[in-house]
Structure 1
Amino acid sequence: MARTTPHDRPRTRARAEGGPLYWKVAARLLDELRDGTIPPGERLPAERQLAVHFGVSRETVRQALEVLRRDGLVATDRRGSHAALTGPPVAAPVRLTFPVGARSGDPDACDRTAVAWETPPPEHAAALGLAAHRPTLVHHYRSTAADGSDLRTAVTSFSPVALAEVAELARYRDRADGSDGAQLRRAYDWMRRAGLTLHHRDSITRLPDGPSVRVTRRVRDQYARLLEITDLLVDARQDALVYEFTLPAAV
């Protein structure tokens, strides 16, 4: 899993502030190396793929990789470039994909996600203790069948506590533009790595005007602080609602 050293992040991050575009790309790529998106030793995507991912030219990606290579954070051999962070490994997290229960069982379903910095739904704002019209990080999920009909939709609002405690979530503030494809699948892993114990409480109600059911999830930490609230709508005619939890064995 991800590995970190006390001085890898500040050096690259400090140069990125106000520096050339390739330094900023290097800092963003380092973030992904550190949070385990690309584990140590694993081959990095091709320059062309990284260029599309970061929305820059291949030359900019090439310069960013050279910055990380000089710092010893990326190594290149005949197989290509791969993550080379040093230091003690972070313990392997329990895999609990966010948002729980959102994925449909339909193999032909089309899933879309987006992250925005926006005013949350009123019910979410009240639960999170946010003042009127105060924005926060909001995740949108939609799963549609082959005919375009909705199978599942989910809206998640994160609390100020989650954004303050979980660095990976906080970094999304400046890039949460509502564009398609934003992924927070490892949000629960990030929370656990930040030292938070997660308590999930789900309330399931059938909507009166149709066959759909609403799942309202509230996730709190060991101090009973609310981290996020999710509203998940499921078409009960077409899909089964399945929850899968994996707990670590006692050691």
Structure 2
Amino acid sequence: MARTTPHDPSPADPAPADAPPPLYRRVADQLLGELRDGTVPPGERLPGERRLAEHFGVSRETVRQALDVLRRDGLLTTDRRGSHVALPGPPAGSAAPLVFPVGARAAEPRTGDRATVVWGTPPPEHAAALGLVPGRPTLMHHYTSATAAGNGRRTAVTSFSAVALAEVEELARYRDRADGIACAQLRRAYDWMRRAGLTLHHRDTITLQPDTASVRVVRRVHDQYARPLEITDLLVDTRQDALVYEFTLPAAG
């Protein structure tokens, strides 16, 4: 009688219906659950593969396969600086961050809003405030907002310092796509700075523009070491609009 040996399913054989999902899929599901809980907020960078492998107790190859799953599902984006969370909205249960730039109307973009970034030479006033050599380019953010009727227009120009670009990776990675055309909402910029370990000090100067119905707001932000981070120049048409500042202070203790 001929001897037979048990048949080991090959990778091409379909898995039994009751078989557990592969390890990389389980890691992908666990990671997605943590992202939805706000472990890493939307738009921010994931820890490296080695740290994730240690966190889940698996190999880096398994982590790499799990990240591929989330990337194919559109839940992660990857560039030369790493993988970034692409889940929409703020993390569940988190406090609303201070929205950038000064004068932005709402926590989420709306019709009539336009925001882009360019790598260019800032105005002399901005260069002086940021300690930049005259003529030296930097990352600049342009914001425009108008109501459907065309009134209440707001325009803001922000220049970031070399310190901000060196300390805040989420800002630095915009340099390669600062073409002045593609939409670039940096509404979490202040939150990114705080998560980079920077304490933010804001100084807003508000002046009425002579012979116009406009208000100019100049915001300067520096960190705990008195290093300049950004300066924003906002112009608001106040004929049909109101400029509202909203601050949230954490409870003591």
TM-score over 0.5 for the alignment? yes
Q: Does 1:185 align with 2:187?
A: yes
Query: 1:182 is matched by which residue type in structure 2?
Result: A
Determine which of 236, 244, 247 is the counterpart of 1:242: 244
| CA-atom RMSD in angstroms | 3.2
Deviations 1:97-130 (A, max 9, x none): 11132227xx986111101111111110111111
- 1:85 aligns with none
**Alpha-carbon separation, structure 1, partners of 2:47 and 2:97:** 24
Judged with a 3 Å threshold, the aligned counterparts in structure 2 of structure 1 residues 139 and 211 are, in CA distance, closer, same or farther, namely same
By how many angstroms is 1:7 displaced? 2.8
Larger Rg: 2
CA 1:38 to 1:126, structure 2 compared with 1: closer, same or farther past 3 Å?
Answer: same
Which residue matches 2:176?
174
Quickly say closer, same or farther: Cα 1:8–1:231, change in 2 above 3 A: farther
1:18 paired residue number: none
Give % identity: 66
In 2, Cα distance between the equivalents of 1:142 and 1:191? 23
1:120-171 CA distance string (max 9 Å, x none): 1111011111112211010000012324456110000000010011010011
Amino acid at match of 1:32: H
Describe the SS at the equivalent of 1:103.
coil
SS of equivalent residue, structure 1 residue 177: coil
Q: Which amino acid aligns with 1:207?
A: Q
Matching residue of 1:80: none
Inter-CA distance 198–240: structure 2 relative to 1 (3 Å threshold)? same
Q: Which runs of 4+ in 1 moved over 4 A?
A: 8-12, 91-94
Which residue number in structure 1 is paired with residue 83 of structure 2? 31
Task: Supply the distance in 2 between the matched residues of 1:157 and 1:108 (Cα, whole angstroms).
Answer: 23
In structure 2, runs of 5+ residues without a counterpart are: 1-37, 41-45, 53-59, 65-70
The aligned counterpart of 2:117 is: 115
Q: Corresponding residue for 1:54?
A: none
Q: How far off its partner does 1:8 sit? A: 5.4
Structure 2 residue aligned with 1:202: 204
Please give the residue correspondences for 1:28-107 in structure 2 after superposition, counting only pairs within 5 Å: 28=79, 31-33=83-85, 37-38=86-87, 92=94, 95-103=97-105
Gaps of 5+ in 1: 16-21, 43-90
Change in CA separation of 1:94 and 1:249 when aligned onto 2, cut-off 3 Å = farther
Give the 3-state SS of the residue equivalent to 1:32 in structure 2. strand
Higher helix share: 1
For the structure 1 residues 227 and 128, does the alpha-carbon distance in structure 2 shift closer, same or farther, using more than 3 Å as the test? Answer: same
Quote how far apart the aligned CAs of 1:215 are. Answer: 0.2
Decide whether aligned partners of structure 1 residues 240 and 26 sit closer, same or farther in structure 2, where only a CA change above 3 A counts: closer
Q: Offset at 1:6?
A: 4.2
Instruction: Give the TM-score taking structure 1 as reference length.
Output: 0.65
Q: Is the 8 A contact 1:157 1:229 kept in 2?
A: yes
Q: How big is the shift at 1:243?
A: 0.3
Q: Could you tell me the TM-score, scaled by structure 2's length?
A: 0.65
CA separation of 1:26 and 1:210: change in aligned 2, threshold 3 A: closer
CA distance in 1: counterparts of 2:51 and 2:245, whole angstroms:
37
CA distance in 1, matches of 2:126, 2:51: 34
| Paired letter, 1:187 | A
Distance 1:125 1:108, change over 3 A: closer
Whether the aligned pair in 2 keeps the contact of 1:143 and 1:152 (CA below 8 Å) is: yes
SS at match of 2:114: strand
Letter in 1 for 2:87: I
- The Cα of 1:227 is off from its aligned counterpart by 0.4
Change (3 A) 1:179 1:8: farther
Equivalent residue pairs, number: 187
Partner of 1:216: 218
